[in-house]
């Protein structure tokens, strides 16, 4: 009988770097000032309502939806797999077992380097790598993933050796051989 596997534990929960919310936040601040100015300048009530309606639409599309998109995309790293969940209206869940990953690299643009983030790319041997985009502290994530993948590869190899020894007849069943 193969040894029982340890329970799966959550190692980290990640989101994209919050830097992506800078432009929506600035837009919201500028929009509030421009709306207040516009409402104070125009003489007619319908013009005020048009400005407020346009400002609400711009705030919804330019600030609220990007924040919601950032909030709904998250990555969970456990002791056995990586789970990426995303989507506002349509939920998408993507998983990758640590035993499938081969190579973990970090790619950083100059802007990501300035803010301490980067893309963690996991090569699975398929055409496209599994990419965790713009994660904070990518070197720490890379080290953790390499350690978890190494442990999982050794666990899989031990399990295969145990199964092979059972097939080869190395085990003794019910006291006799």
The whole-angstrom separation of Cα 161 and Cα 174 is 21
Average pLDDT over residues 130-141: 91
Confidence of residue 176 (pLDDT cuts 50, 70, 90): low
Provide the CATH number for the domain formed by 79-170 in this structure.
2.30.29
pTM for the full predicted model: 0.73
Specify the pLDDT at position 166: 62
Instruction: Give dist(CA 47, CA 63) in Å, integer.
Output: 23
Query: Torsion angle of alpha carbons 130, 132, 138, 144, nearest 10°?
Result: -60
- Cβ–Cβ < 8 Å for 85, 93: yes
More confident residue, 149 or 50: 50
The segment with the largest mean pLDDT, out of 11-20, 23-32, 129-138, is 23-32
pLDDT at 174: 58
Q: What is the mean pLDDT of residues 130-135?
A: 89
Place of tokens 């837009």: 27
Report pLDDT for 44.
94
* pLDDT of the residue at 168: 55
Q: What is the mean pLDDT of residues 35-41?
A: 95
**Band of pLDDT at residue 170, cut at 50, 70 and 90:** low
Q: How big is the CA angle at 84 (ends 89 and 123), to the nearest 5 degrees? A: 135
pLDDT higher at 100 or 69: 69
Task: Report, in angstroms and rounded to the nearest whole number, the Rg of the chain calculated over CA atoms.
Answer: 26
- The model's pLDDT over 72-122, given as tens digits with 9 standing for 90+, comes to 999 999 988 999 999 888 899 988 888 776 788 999 999 999 999 999 998
Q: Does the structure show a pLDDT above 60 at 130?
A: yes
Measured distance CA(105)–CA(69) in Å, rounded: 26
């Amino acid at each position: 009988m193969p040894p029982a596997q340890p329970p799966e534990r959550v190692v980290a929960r990640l989101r994209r770097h919050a830097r992506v919310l800078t432009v929506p936040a600035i837009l919201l601040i500028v929009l509030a000032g421009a709306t207040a100015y516009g409402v104070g300048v125009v003489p007619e009530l319908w013009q005020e309502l048009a400005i407020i309606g346009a400002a609400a639409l711009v705030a919804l599309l330019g600030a609220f939806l990007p924040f919601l998109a950032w909030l709904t995309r998250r990555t969970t790293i456990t002791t056995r797999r990586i789970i990426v969940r995303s989507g506002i209206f349509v939920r998408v869940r993507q998983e990758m077992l640590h035993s499938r990953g081969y190579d973990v690299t970090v790619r950083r643009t100059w802007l990501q380097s300035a803010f301490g983030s980067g893309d963690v790319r996991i090569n699975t041997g398929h055409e496209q790598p599994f990419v965790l985009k713009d994660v904070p502290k990518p070197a720490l994530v890379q080290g953790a993933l390499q350690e978890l993948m190494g442990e999982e590869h050794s666990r899989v190899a031990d399990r295969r050796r145990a199964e092979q020894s059972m097939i080869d007849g190395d085990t003794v069943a019910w006291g006799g051989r």
